[in-house]
Structure 1
Amino acid sequence: MAQMAPAEPALGVRRPALSPSRASDFKQCPLLYRFRAVDRLPELPTKAQLRGTLVHSVLERLFALPQPERLPERAKALLEPAWSELSADRPDWTALFDAEEPADVREWLTGAEKLLDAYFSLEDPRRLDPEACELHVEIELDSGVRLRGYVDRLDVAPTGELRVVDYKTGTAPREIGEAKALFQMKFYAVVLWRLRGAVPRQLKLMYLTDGQSLAYTPDEPELRRFERTLEAIWQAIMRAGRTGDFRPSPSRLCDWCAHQALCPSFGGTPPEYPGWPDPDPGAETPLDRAD
């Protein structure tokens, strides 16, 4: 008997979609995708991940200020209020810090200040007027694949050219990190191209850990090829979703995986396959967007 395809969700429920983080997960390791998108296993964040989430939030708030007020000291003054708001309902986040040692949080915030210093060394936000920060983008391709994600910042020139900007605060190995980052940026470029009918003029990655930036210029033939890659990834996810056959793909990135105890490559046993999730295996979290 033929296997049934994953069912469409009920009216009013968001359809399953592919996000850049989940697409990257499946490309890296199908079992990791299953753990995150299907089983939705909890992952305790690291302090570095939380710091990235905080810095992204502060930069979003900074660009909400009038241009003359976008100064380094103003950005640093936003850190503690932003952290209080972000962590208010997340005891798992605050538990990473020693409640009896205020210096623990202070040292962590100092690390965030250094990332903001690096940001200001790369550009002057007083001279910029972004169209949007933390922009939600979503589109369904002609093939039926739905793409969904959040763009850190979208700049639009007076002449209409688009620039997609992404802040990177993580500490993954540089060559691996850059490949994943460019994958993410091309994902956004495809979505914006299909939404607006124009290929982004520039994809800009800002590495705040070392104060460097990387600019990339895509073209339409490249984005057409990448669109086919995304469609192939989604088709592979659908095949795995029908059978539950999400196989591990060991690599150097296993060293950073939170699920080694459940991975067959490390002698573990995954939980019983719960079936294809409803409604939305493509959702990203703030931690994903602060990678």
Structure 2
Amino acid sequence: METRPDDVSDVTEVRGDAVAEAAVVPAPAVPAERYAPRPPTSLSPSRAGDFMQCPLLYRFRVIDRLPERPSEAATRGTLVHAVLERLFDAPAAERTAPRATALVPGQWERLRESRPEVGELFADDPDGERLATWLGEAERLVERWFTLEDPTRLEPAERELFVETELASGLRLRGIIDRVDVAPTGEVRIVDYKTGKAPRPQYSEGALFQMKFYALVVWRLKKVVPRRLQLVYLGSGDVLTYDPVPADLERVERKLHALWDAIRSATETGDWRPRPTKLCGWCDHQAHCPEFGGTPPPYPLPLGVPASEVAEQGRMSADQGARVAAEVPSEAP
């Protein structure tokens, strides 16, 4: 999730490739109005992933809006994304590895200015040794990118592109795409950078779920199926590609409708059940989770959403909805 909201109303986004590295730390004090409870109004790849992983996690993030303190791994991902985005501001011939790594300190300062809370990550590092190591790790990830792609031969049509569409059913989908390349022939490639390692082959479908989500949005918006989906794993130096077809995206659309039905049903009933997995060890909300002896906050929304606002056909309870995740394998750290 790198900390970068792909649902612009979600201020505590944590990208999935950082989950395995993220440390569980106490949440910082945050003004309550910043996290005012609200019912879900749209679906992003990260929020869909949250619900498939654990309906209660979805509730904590979307409805309760419990604060989450940024981790070193997530923040490093945000930094690397910013560097790779800014590099394309330079002329093609000047997009070199030394220029890219030279951007790291400046982008770190920009990140600290825009999100002061990330500076707390190194509050116990008065000599700056841990920060220097952390920045060096970010530089190595940036350098590795040059072994996977040649930016001197790329002219992205879009970078950090916010996309949003409303399906015929009324479901709104939104997200932020790292990079969109458009060939002279009009073919579209969607590219996403991951600072973690590539999944094992049996888990590649789960890794591609986010990309198929984006492809569906682009298809519905532009009436063009992207020619290629490309995941660039900087942690391991791998590139995962997939060429979607309309049938793939139609399956994703059906899956998202099923998830949304389950989310709306849980919103109506207040039935948000935990789904224990190995990922629970990295969750910030153990103090509120029944699986760890905690108690969720009082449910902040009125129960009993009008029936006209809830899909009646194929409606699922929250724990049934979580089992939709079986269609998209997820790899435990």
TM bin, normalised by shorter chain, reads: 0.7 to 0.9
* 8 Å Cα contact 2:157/2:180 also seen in 1: yes
* Aligned counterparts, 1:50-129, within 5 A: 50-97=75-122, 98-129=124-155
Corresponding residue of 2:53: 28
* 8 Å Cα contact 1:58/1:82 also seen in 2: yes
Corresponding residue of 2:271: 245
Residue number among 164, 182, 204 corresponding to 1:138 in the alignment: 164
Query: Which whole-Å deviations, capped at 9, do the CAs of 1:199-226 have from their partners, x for residues lacking one?
Result: 1111000000111110011110111111
| Residues 110, 133 of structure 1: alpha-carbon distance in 2 compared, 3 angstrom cutoff | same
Q: Is 1:18 matched up with 2:18?
A: no
TM-score for the superposition, normalised by structure 2 = 0.75
Distance 2:205 2:256 in 1: 15
Across the aligned residues of Structure 1 and Structure 2, the Cα RMSD in angstroms comes to: 1.9
Corresponding residue of 1:285: none
**Alpha-carbon distance, 1:90 to partner:** 2.9
Distance 1:42 1:176 in 2: 33
Corresponding residue of 2:311: none
| Residues 172, 243 of structure 1: alpha-carbon distance in 2 compared, 3 angstrom cutoff | farther
Secondary structure (helix, strand or coil) at the match of 1:22 reads: helix
| Residues 28, 84 of structure 1: alpha-carbon distance in 2 compared, 3 angstrom cutoff | same
* 8 Å Cα contact 2:225/2:245 also seen in 1: yes
Gaps of 5+ in 1: 1-14, 277-291
Residue number among 21, 30, 44 corresponding to 2:69 in the alignment: 44
**Alpha-carbon distance, 1:69 to partner:** 1.3
Distance 1:265 1:234 in 2: 25
Distance 2:114 2:221 in 1: 35
Distance 1:79 1:177 in 2: 32
Corresponding residue of 1:269: 295
Q: Which amino acid aligns with 1:218?
A: P
**Alpha-carbon distance, 1:37 to partner:** 0.7
Task: Work out the number of aligned pairs and report it.
Answer: 263
Query: Which whole-Å deviations, capped at 9, do the CAs of 1:72-93 have from their partners, x for residues lacking one?
Result: 0111111111110111143321
Secondary structure (helix, strand or coil) at the match of 1:213 reads: strand
Q: Which amino acid aligns with 1:134?
A: E
Distance 2:290 2:197 in 1: 26
Secondary structure (helix, strand or coil) at the match of 2:93 reads: helix
Corresponding residue of 2:229: 203
Larger mean CA deviation between 252-261 and 210-219 belongs to: 252-261
| Residues 238, 203 of structure 1: alpha-carbon distance in 2 compared, 3 angstrom cutoff | same
* 8 Å Cα contact 2:199/2:207 also seen in 1: no
Q: Is 1:156 matched up with 2:182?
A: yes
Distance 1:96 1:248 in 2: 29
Distance 1:21 1:176 in 2: 21
| Residues 196, 31 of structure 1: alpha-carbon distance in 2 compared, 3 angstrom cutoff | same
**Alpha-carbon distance, 1:174 to partner:** 5.1
Query: Which whole-Å deviations, capped at 9, do the CAs of 1:230-274 have from their partners, x for residues lacking one?
Result: 111111111111121111111122122111221112221111111
* 8 Å Cα contact 2:83/2:107 also seen in 1: yes
| Residues 238, 172 of structure 1: alpha-carbon distance in 2 compared, 3 angstrom cutoff | farther
Query: Which whole-Å deviations, capped at 9, do the CAs of 1:169-200 have from their partners, x for residues lacking one?
Result: 13697579744431110100100011111111
Larger mean CA deviation between 194-203 and 254-263 belongs to: 254-263
Q: Is 1:227 matched up with 2:253?
A: yes
Distance 1:171 1:35 in 2: 27
Distance 1:272 1:171 in 2: 38
